[in-house]
Structure 1
Amino acid sequence: MGDSRPMIGTGIADILRVAQRISYMVASGLGSHLRRSGLRCADFRGAGLHGNGRRLVFNGAFRVASLSLLFALLGVCFSVADDDSNESAAVAITELKSFVWDFSRKDDQGFDGEPDGWKRATGDSYPSYVQYQIVARDPDFERNMLKIDSSTLRPWLKLRSQFPSLPALPPSIADMTVDRFVRIELDGGQFTAQSPSIEASRMYQYRFSADIMTKGLRHDTARAELVFLDESNQELARHSTVPRGGTSDWTSCQVELVRPPVGAKSMMIRIMVQRSEDGLEDIRGTIGFDNLRIEQYPQLQVVTDQTRGVYRVGQPITTTAKIMGLPAGASQIQFRLLDHDNRELASELLSVNHRGDPVSKDSASKDSAGVLAETAPRSVDSDVTWQLPHVDVGFYRVAASIVGKRASTLSTDVTFVVIDDLVGGPPHGPFGWTLPRGSSQVPARELGPWLSSLGVAWVKYPCWFSPTDTVAAEETAALLTRFQDNGLQTVGMLDLPPESQIAKYNLRGRRDLVAAQLFRDVATWQPLLEPLMTRLTLKVRTWQLGADRDHSFLGRPRLRDSINAISTGLQGFGQPIDVAISWPWLEEELDESETSWQAICRSSDPSLAAHELDAFLGLEESHSRGSGPRTWLLLDPIEKSRYDRDSRIRDLVLRMATVRGHRVQAAFVSDPHSEENGLLRPGGRPDELLLPWRTTSRLIGNLRKTGSLQLQSGAQNTVFVGGDRAVLMLWSAEPTEEKIYLGDNVQMVDVWGRVTELPVHPDPVQPSQHISIGPVPIFIVGADPSLLLFRMSVALQPTQLDSLLGLVQPLRVKFTNPTRESMVGTVRILTPPSWAITTPIRNWEMLSGRSTSEPFEVVLSNVAKIGTYDVPLQFELETVPPKLITVHRSLIVGPEGLDIKILTRLLRGNELRVQIEITNRSNRTQSYDCLLFPPPGRQYQRRFVTIEPGETTRREIFWPNGGELVGKRMLLRAVEQDGSRVLNYPIDVTR
């Protein structure tokens, strides 16, 4: 420009003088204009002005804004000389792109109130009378700023006479300061508008965010979408914010990092207001959209040298971070190795080797959408490799993040597991997976060994392909052979025909793609399936009709004949087959005489809890004579989004344990790759429930649930035994410790597969292992199976002693010899001091497989209290070396059929109330003389109580100055009238 050269030579002091002149002219001229306009100083405090009497003063914020505006104008109006120095070249290296629609003046240069280049949907469902325009968030502030714009015109003209190169009109303060948004006013109907498209690249991933406001919505919801398009502008994928309804203030909604799908060339933003699913629409309501932003991020991917992330213990592990689209300035990768509890085990900061040259500043351009964005340097693949330190068995994550001043924080992670055998040989038992279509993430030759290493014993595999697809037939036959070579029980699944074959089945719609409809016409399906079945029935005998949870056969008439005909038709020229169908748990299984299938796969939604599954399986077995269809079931983990990790682990392990207590042939995870209910991440790498599932499958898969132990800690447990191996599973709602002797070579295995030795702690009374127990189950291995069975066989008879003080009562200890040899030893009862046993130690001898019962005589003293007692029973076995085993059993002292409940409460006035509630569950009337003894220093109180059969009687006793009794112990002594019982009941006084 002609007048630009003198300005280029102007020093910074001259520019500041110009800015000062502008401030003075605006302050003096604008102030008088404002006063003539009747505006108050208070109207502009938000714009950086304040008033002092009649004088209008600009504060620092407004001066800064004025200077910023001046420099912006100078940058537009005056040319800048080129500078090829290294410093300028460095400045030309730009950051990653960011595309923003904030609906300021740059997005509405046509002054029509609508964003430039946006297209609005039209049609019957999208009426034009729904208002759509750019408005200010604060209309009053906008009005005041427009008045300022009007008042600056005359001072600007004076300034322009001194600087002719300035624009004809002053810059708009309103455009600089007013925050605007897109407002939609509803009047019935829906609304959709979309932005111009902008370039998308698979070199990058994108984060999308939008500010959304709603007011007065009852049926409609508002959301924003990031849409990827191909070169023909056809939609490939969309990613939506969470729909918002009702009335909500401005909320930032985000779509986290997404990568454009294959074939994507461009992307756009779509804002939408949609009616409810039932078709109802709002007649009134307001929606706002603002700050629509697409941010570009590098592609950061972390991989390991084992693509599926499964390592054997001791195997070296290498992880590599692969980066695409990395800007200059981001030159390091921070690696962190984390365990299953996100504890950091190791870290490493490594430099990135850049192998690309940045683009020159001449390549910076305005995007095709008209959105000004900085252009990233040309990038090529970079990678950084980290050799991990040695790690033990367990579940791990490697987190990687980009470190650099000019790169936004970006991180990702990769999971892997380190496993050991736990149990020798291939997996056995009922636990397996259904492999959905797309399981080709693992090469066919590696799939069988990989599944076996993860504890999978059963596999369902979809096998429905076109009769002319000989390649698929050969590959499937080879894969099924490999499954069997690896010891996997294999089930073929006929779930869905190939897409090209669906039209031949004459279905009414996609909802009819279920087994009962697909197998309706034998003349249709038999020719299409005969080539497949002729080839594959030589490999697989059992076939499931329909997918998991396909309950379409339910309620079908003459089902026995239908399934029999399907089974016969599928055999064709192949081998005889067994057929399985799916059946919901909430529907009763048909009688054996009405069935012709060999297996039935049970399921429910939501999944049954462990105790519910136990009840359903028990009920089913009570109705079955053991010769009907074999029982299968689905055993999916509960939802990741609803439950914490430890709750999901406990639920899964307990249900797997329940299966081993019933006649269940197979239990399948229906989709191991499910992000919500699976064991693997969608890409096939380990997720946090894989190892708990594997550990449980390997440890108890071929064992039977035989019972449980009564433990002193109260921890819940299950004993599994098979052959010469036994496993004890322990868990407790609250952390506790159990001291118990289980053998000499005992180990603890947690759900992650980590093994810990449990040494025997010496003790003169009872040597024992000390086991820490918590909410997540643990497994005890190496325990002596005969020792566990012996512990479970011990019982007291009776389990309740009457409160007959001073009288002899019989008590017997029963137990069984589970070994193959004779057993000799002694048994001793350790009783409370208030009990007396005439002969506490008795000798015994027992043949293999036999049971015995040793008698004792118990006398309760006058101070013996009623309640439940823990009675230790000590068995000393005459083995080499001798073994001492302590078993704990519960024994109740008190009259049978009489329940006593006592509550204390401190009332107003410092009075203590003691409420005695006695329930008589016997068939005779009982009367008691109740004496309540306080601590020493107070007089006892007395009440007579008579309780009729089946009734409950209450008595209340009040004590003055009750606060003195809180925290102390009272004693209720109830003496039976016309009887010999005396009940001593201790009472701990509480508020």
Structure 2
Amino acid sequence: MINAIAWLMLCSALVAPSSEQRHVDAVEIFYCDFSNNDINYDKWPDGWKRSYGPNKPHFVEVEMQEDATAVAGNCLTMKLNGGGALISSPAVAISDNFGYVVEARLRGQGGKYSRAQVKIDFCDENRQVLETATSKWYQDTNDWEKIHIGPVNVTHPEVRWAIISLLVIEGEHVDLQGSFSLDDVWLARLPRMHVHTNSPFNVYDNKNNVVVTCELSGIREQDPNIHFELLDARSIKLNDNTIQLAGRLITEKLSKSSDFIDSSVERPAGYAGSTSWHPPIKEYGYYSVKVSMKTKGGTPQVHMISIAVVPPMQTASRGEFGWSLAGDDIPLSFEQLNQLLPRTGISWVKLPVWYGESEADRGDQLVLFTEQLAAKDIDVVGVLDHPPADLDYFGKDLPADASIADLLSNVDSSIWLPSLDEVLTRLSLRVRWWQLGVDNDTSYAHFPNAEKEIRALREKLFRFGQDVSLGLGWPWLEAAPPNRLATWDFQQLSASPPLTGEELATYLALPERKGVTRWTLVEPLPRKDYDLETRTHDLVQQMISAKIHGATKIFAAKPFDDDAGLMSDQGTPSDLLLPWRTAASLLSGTRFLGTIQLPGASENRLFEDEKGTVLMVVWNQQPRQEVIYLGENVQVVDVWGRSESPDLKNHRHVLDISSLPKFVTGMNTAVAKMRLGAQFTELNIPSVFEMAHSNNIELRNTFEQGVGGTIRIIGPEGWQIIPDRIDFKLAAGDKVKRPFQIILPFDATSGKTPLRVDFEVNAEKPYNFSVYRTLNVGDTNIELELTTRLAEDETLVVEQRMINHGKKPVDFKCFLYAPGSERRRQRMQVFQLTNNWDIKTYSYSHGEDLLGEELLLRVEEIGGERRVLNHRVLVEE
């Protein structure tokens, strides 16, 4: 029989406040509004406790007070008076079958330095804390702030109790005035949903092996619908399925009474069960599976899980790409990393290796792990960053941001060297590369006489003569003395904020320090600020820039990061894992050859691997097709690693190009290199028409045997190119120049003009392919721009801008022609054009009739070289 006092307390615990709309499907298990739980009228809530100790003095006043703004007219208030406080609720019996959510209201007033947070501790049978979830810290909020913690799924099987606390701590200075108030404290259980796959990190090499499992516990309905959806990288739904769960009954009867509820009270029963789905994944790529539980009350819980299905892809045994796990929280075990890392296209991994006497098992694990990776052609870089917790630095706690120079060079080596002896002894036979500090720790770059200091450190660390390479962090913006002999072997370069691909190329072009190799970081753009295409393009550009400009090692920085990582904080794949893997696998061990001109002007970079096979990376900010012959065994690989044969059109490959880079493999090496070697000796043609201009084309035989053949140079309509056919014969490796002449028509357009060179080559078999080149018509000293716009009265305004980059002033007469016999040409003159922009304006009435038409501007030099520039512009609004 529940007595009257217990009944009042039970009502306080189990009746939700009418002023709040609580979490869907929640079952309330504790509630306190500080209105009906002061039976002995001592202004202290019944069952609540207060802890005392350092910085939590007795004289700090905490009591319930009337407050008209509180939910029930009362709140619990702590008055800041030079100290902090810890105030805790009664212990509430819980179970690991459920998730939990906490809500409360908090108000801070009048304080400057103190701060407060609400937390929930999950404890075992003896009230020892096993897990904790907290709110953020609050200071002076002025008005009430709504606190929300969870849902929290407790993972420890020994959890039996939950205790909600208000923690107030002092700041840099103490507050003698001000207060923190707590109100409307609510704890509820929720159905617990756990979604996982049959892989510890959700990366598969077989799409048929993927299984997604949804485990439910504590649900109110016995047979809810579980809905699975398969989404692609752009969150487009590919497939779905709904499965009705057959749940089993679980009853939560309190084995012990909580601090305030009679033990005979039973909470509403729940159900538990699990179900699995094999998503019908048809091709390699990145996917998400969305799992939602549909009940009669709606869809209270939705979970997303990411999956990567990776294609088979060979990585060079001595590639440049790696992952840096230094300074990163690693959510996977060594055993799991041993399975994951070989699937990511890397040849290197950085690991923090400094462990203490209390972590003897870690030493064994590191030795085994490095041996396992070595067997898979992955080298380990040992990183000495933060010392182990059991190392005594004069009895002081080291700040989390202590630099490696602070740890090793500003402290007597007798403090830290014994701790490192075992690490170095056990690992130096397996680990040949060592780094001082995490990647962005550049403290030694600013250290006085760093060369002398690193030499001394090296002698202490590797005093037994180990043959190792030592490196340290270095800022990109810090110039290294090029002629001063370094006592380290590599510099890990970093910048804040991270560099883009273009910036990386610029800095890598600077002279490197003699005897020191440069290692770079690849740091993806954050998800919260950029879309997937932009982030993918930038990631590949960084990797390409590092390859082209000579970075010795290229590391992905902090790969386990929800916002900018290749994996999530929980160790599951992000949408950038596959682009990284594809680029790293295909570019590893290659060397940069150059760039070819494509007919559609798409950007591209060519690389050659150790076997002499040529790879092209190609992209274009504007989607377009490139039609060009590339070889006999061409495959196009997208950033997700999916490979396909391109369509053929008149024996030429059709490539669909976009801003997402594509990798073209299987190119004919000799044809690719012959394209690179075919060049015009003169890149400019004087803008003097109807007279012959001499030029040469350089050819180089890149086939393994002698070849013969012909070329034809094809210019724009009206151009005369003499001769129309050029024959050649070349021994293997030979070069030759062949002359030709160009006669420009009277209306030839000035500026950059594309030409096509058609090759017929007889080698071990006939080859027919085209090379694309550009010639500039006109003097590069004269720059000309033409723009159009419609005025409000429909007059077409044409603006001409000219500038002379040469040394002598020049005079011009200008003629503008518009289509249609009724529109007469317009004339302007430009006198003494120098290195300042000259602006002239033309106008046509009824300009809307000219929209979409082409205007021709003819600019003729008066006297001098009598140059002529023809410029065309399309009329736009």
Assess same fold via TM > 0.5.
Answer: yes
Distance in 1, Cα, partners of 2:75 & 2:452: 64
Indicate yes or no: 2:268 matched with 1:376: yes
1:132 is displaced (CA, Å) by 6.9
The residue number in structure 2 matching 1:985 is: 871
Alignment of 1:90-489 (within 5 A): 96-98=26-28, 133-135=66-68, 196-197=89-90, 198-208=92-102, 225-230=118-123, 232=127, 237-240=132-135, 254-260=148-154, 262=156, 265-267=160-162, 294-313=187-206, 316-358=209-251, 368=260, 375-377=267-269, 382-389=273-280, 391-405=282-296, 409-423=300-314, 426=317, 428-434=319-325, 441-442=332-333, 444=335, 447-448=337-338, 450-466=340-356, 471-489=361-379
Paired position in structure 2 for 1:522: 413
Q: For residues 842 and 333 of structure 1, what CA distance do their matches in structure 2 show?
A: 72
Residue 956, structure 1, aligned to residue 841, structure 2: yes
TM-score of the two chains, using structure 1 as the length reference: 0.75
| Post-superposition CA distance 1:710-765 (Å, at most 9, x none) | 2222322211112322221122223222212111211111121111121322x2xx
The correspondence for 2:573, drawn from 682, 686, 689, is 686
SS at match of 1:487: coil
Cα distance in 2, alignment partners of residues 401 and 203 from structure 1: 18
Q: Name the CA distance, whole Å, in 2 between partners of 1:963 and 1:314.
A: 58
CA deviation after TM superposition for structure 1 residue 804, in Å: 0.8
Match of 1:707 among 572, 586, 594: 594
1:885 is paired with a residue whose SS is strand
1:85 is matched with: none
Q: Does 1:589 align with 2:519?
A: no
- Matching residue of 2:635: 747
Q: Of the candidates 608, 611, 618, which is equivalent to residue 730 of structure 1?
A: 618
Tell me the equivalent position of 2:7: none
Gaps of 5+ in 1: 2-75, 77-93, 138-177
Q: 1:179 to 1:877 in 2, by over 3 A?
A: farther
SS at match of 1:843: strand
C-alpha displacement of 1:655: 1.0
Aligned-partner SS, 1:691 = helix
Distance verdict in 2 for CA 1:135–1:256, change over 3 Å: same
Cα-to-partner distance string for 1:240-294 (whole Å, 9 max, x where unaligned): 269699999x99775453224646554455679999x99899999x999987654
Contact kept in structure 2, 1:534 and 1:572, CA below 8 Å: no
SS in 1 for 2:581: helix
Label 1:468 to 1:793 Cα distance change in 2 as closer, same or farther (>3 A).
Answer: same
The SS at the match of 1:479 is helix
Q: 1:893 to 1:210 in 2, by over 3 A?
A: farther
Partner-residue secondary structure (3-state), 1:539: coil
- AA aligned to 1:534 is T
**CA distance change for structure 1 residues 516 and 436 in 2, over 3 Å: closer, same or farther?**
closer
Contact 1:96–1:375 under 8 Å retained in 2: no
Alpha-carbon distance in 2 for matches of 1:577, 1:213? 58
- For the Cα contact (< 8 Å) 2:799–2:841, is it kept in 1? yes
**Distance in 1 of aligned mates of 2:616 and 2:681:** 26
User: What are the Cα deviations for residues 197-250 of structure 1, in whole angstroms up to 9, with x where unaligned?
Assistant: 444443322344568899x999899997443253548695333269699999x9
Q: Judging changes above 3 Å, is the alpha-carbon distance between structure 1 residues 514 and 436 closer, same or farther for their aligned structure 2 residues?
A: closer
Provide the rounded CA distance (Å) in 1 between the counterparts of 2:138 and 2:748.
68
Partners of 1:812 and 1:854 within 8 A in 2? yes
* In the alignment, structure 1 residue 720 sits paired with structure 2 residue 607: yes
Q: Distance in 2 between matches of 1:692 and 1:599?
A: 27
Matching of residue 818 in structure 1 with residue 751 in structure 2: no
In 2, distance between residues paired with 1:942 and 1:95? 80
Q: How does 1:56-67 map to 2 (within 5 A)?
A: none
1:518-562 Cα deviation digits (max 9, x unpaired): 354333333333333233222222222223322222322332222
| d(CA) in 2 for partners of 1:823, 1:245 | 83
The partner residue of 1:608 within 494, 499, 503 is: 499
Check whether the contact 1:129–1:187 (CA below 8 A) recurs between aligned residues: no
Q: Which has the higher strand share?
A: 2
- Show the counterpart of 1:904: 788
Q: Which SS does the other structure have where 2:509 is aligned?
A: helix
Aligned residue type for 2:828: R
Alignment partner of 1:410: what SS?
strand
Per-residue deviation at 1:596? 0.8
Residues 1:369 and 1:864: Cα distance change in structure 2 (over 3 Å): farther
Q: CA deviation at 1:189?
A: 10
In structure 2, the CA distance between the partners of 1:389 and 1:551, relative to structure 1 (3 Å rule), is: same
Whether contact under 8 Å (1:96, 1:327) holds in the other structure is: no
- Worse-superposed segment, 429-438 or 480-489: 429-438
Cα distance in 2 for partners of 1:194, 1:327 equals 33
Give the percent of matched residue pairs that are identical in Structure 1 and Structure 2. 24
- Secondary structure of the residue aligned to 2:497 is coil
Bigger radius of gyration: 1
Match of 1:956, as an amino acid? T
Aligned ranges for residues 794-833 of structure 1 at < 5 Å?
794-833=678-717
Quote how far apart the aligned CAs of 1:650 are: 1.9
Give the Cα–Cα distance (whole angstroms) in 2 for the partners of residues 511 and 919 of structure 1.
55
- In the alignment, what sits opposite 1:80? none
Shift of 1:699: 0.7
| The 10-residue stretch of structure 1 (447-456 or 581-590) with the greater mean CA deviation from structure 2 | 447-456
Measure the CA separation in 1 of the matches of 2:418 and 2:306.
46
Tell me the CA shift for residue 566 of structure 1. Answer: 1.8
For residue 17 of structure 2, what is the aligned residue in structure 1? none
**1:638–1:648 CA contact under 8 A, matched in 2:** yes
Which amino acid in structure 1 is aligned with residue 100 of structure 2?
Y
1:442–1:129 distance in 2 versus 1, CA, 3 Å = closer
User: Partner letter of residue 203 of structure 1?
Assistant: N
1:930 aligns with 2:825: no
Give the Cα–Cα distance (whole angstroms) in 2 for the partners of residues 135 and 204 of structure 1: 35
Q: Is the 8 A contact 2:112 2:139 kept in 1?
A: no
Range with bigger deviation, 290-299 or 124-133: 124-133
1:43-85 deviation digits (Å, cap 9, x = unpaired): xxxxxxxxxxxxxxxxxxxxxxxxxxxxxxxxx9xxxxxxxxx
Query: SS at the partner of 2:710?
Result: strand
Alignment gaps of 5+ in structure 2: 2-10, 12-23
- 1:791 aligns with one of 668, 671, 675: 675
| Amino acid in structure 2 at the alignment position of 1:984 | N
8 Å CA contact 2:810–2:832 kept in 1: the answer is yes
Counterparts of 1:529-568 in structure 2 under 5 Å? 529-568=420-459
Q: CA deviation at 1:910?
A: 4.4
Go from structure 1 to structure 2 and tell me whether the alpha carbon gap of 1:868 and 1:307 turns closer, same or farther (over 3 Å shift): same
Q: Partner residue of 2:4?
A: none
Worse-superposed segment, 600-609 or 265-274: 265-274
Counting helix residues as a fraction of each chain, which structure ranks higher? 1
Corresponding residue pairs, total: 848
Query: Out of 509, 526, 537, which is 1:639 matched to?
Result: 526
Q: Write the distance in 1 (CA, Å) between the matches of 2:196 and 2:606.
A: 40
1:968/1:587 CA distance change after superposition, 3 Å: same
SS of aligned partner of 2:540? helix
| Alignment pair present for 1:580 and 2:471 | yes
